[in-house]
Structure 1
Amino acid sequence: MARKQWTFHGRVQGVGFRASAQAAAKENNLNGWVKNKEDGTVVVEAEGSQDKLQSFLQEIKAGPNPFIKIRHVDEQTFSKEEGYKGFNVKY
């Protein structure tokens, strides 16, 4: 199991990104959260197997809907898990 945090840059707010991220996370059995930031980015933190984390990232990068346009992704990997339950949208 692993924990990663991604910051998505581009057209990622007001386009259904958080709902798409939540759906993709649930499909991949990931736990964590997604949140809009004031600077226009969206942050996702997720825990799960390496394979499922990679699958989630590929799915999101492929653009789950035509309005999402990701320009750049920053990734952080953490050595310790937080033990999240479910996958939530933070406000």
Structure 2
Amino acid sequence: MKRLKIIAAGKVQGVAFRFFASNQANQWGLTGWVQNKPDGTVELEAQGEKDTLHQFLAFLENGPSPSSRTDELVHYEIDVKENEQRFSVRS
């Protein structure tokens, strides 16, 4: 089990990126959260098995639609959170 902090930059706000990420994370059994940041980036924490997290990163790079664009996807490992139940969208 691993947990990643992820920052997505590009055209990632106003294109349903948070809901796109949340839906896929829940389908793949990941836990964590996603939220828009004031600087125009989207911040995520995702927790799950290593291979699933790598698939999730590749999925995020493609974005939810042709109107979105992920220019940069920075990620690093952080501490696992025990007893987390789901992946949520934060305001």
Q: Do these two structures clear the TM 0.5 threshold for a shared fold by scoring above it?
A: yes
Superposition RMSD in Å = 1.0
- What are the Cα deviations for residues 26-76 of structure 1, in whole angstroms up to 9, with x where unaligned? 121100000000000000101000011011111111223212100111111
Q: What SS is found at the alignment partner of 2:64?
A: coil
| Structure 2 residue runs without a partner (length 5+) | none
What residue is the counterpart of 1:45 in the other structure? 45
**Contact map agreement 1:10 1:72 (CA 8 A) in 2:** yes
SS of 1:40's equivalent in the other structure is coil
Are 2:76 and 1:76 equivalent residues in the alignment? yes
The percentage of counterpart residues that share the same residue type is 37
Q: TM-score, normalised by structure 2?
A: 0.93
| Equivalent pair of 2:32/2:88 in contact (CA under 8 Å) | yes
- Give the number of aligned pairs: 90
8 Å CA contact 1:32–1:87 kept in 2: the answer is: yes
Corresponding residue for residue 23 of structure 2: 23
Contiguous gaps of at least 5 residues in structure 1: none
Aligned residue in 2 for 1:7: 7
Contact 1:63-1:69 at 8 Å conserved across structures: yes
- Within 2, Cα distance between the matches of 1:50 and 1:10? 25
- Work out the CA distance in 2 between the residues paired with 1:74 and 1:81: 18
Give the Cα separation in 2 of the matches to 1:65 and 1:27: 18
Could you list the structure 1 runs, at least 4 aligned residues long, displaced by more than 3 angstroms after superposition.
none
Question: Could you say what secondary structure the match of 1:25 adopts?
Answer: helix
Residue 88, structure 1, aligned to residue 88, structure 2: yes
